[in-house]
Amino acid sequence: MVMALTPCSARDAQRVLAAAAEKSHVAVVEVAAAMVAGSRGLPVPLHVERALRHAVEAARTPHHPRPGTATARVGLTPARARTEEALSRFRASQARLSGAPAEHDARRAMDDAAYTLCVLMGRPTVHEAALAAVALLSAPV
């Protein structure tokens, strides 16, 4: 569910849940259970809901590294065709995962597509990589 909301890889989703658990002072399992309960219309403890909302928002917020730092984007720009292919694959896997969140193959496909997009765009998060890919594809040739 976190992977579809943020969007992010499984590893990043675990980090989001861990951050929410730390902020709300409950176990990660309790945060995950509260999230599932909330998706079914059941009440979620307010402190867990707030912590989860903050953790998801932090994961969605792009990190803008300073020029000259190790995470700053330098080097070659990926080919437009490869970027379009990776972004399309990511969006398709995202749609598949949102349709079947419990399907193991859908999660694996989402992780693979997210990782590929991050590496291709040289960005630390899927959200930033997707934004960079869209910006590259919308730029004039």
53 or 88, greater pLDDT = 88
Residue 52 has pLDDT above 50, yes or no: yes
Helical spans, DSSP H, in 1-141: 2-5, 10-24, 28-39, 46-60, 80-99, 104-121, 126-138
Residue 123 has pLDDT above 60, yes or no: yes
Q: How far apart are CA 73 and CA 127, in angstroms?
A: 15
Which range of 63-67, 69-73, 131-135 scores highest in mean pLDDT? It is 131-135
Q: What pLDDT score was predicted for residue 60?
A: 72
Q: Is the pTM of this model over 0.85?
A: no
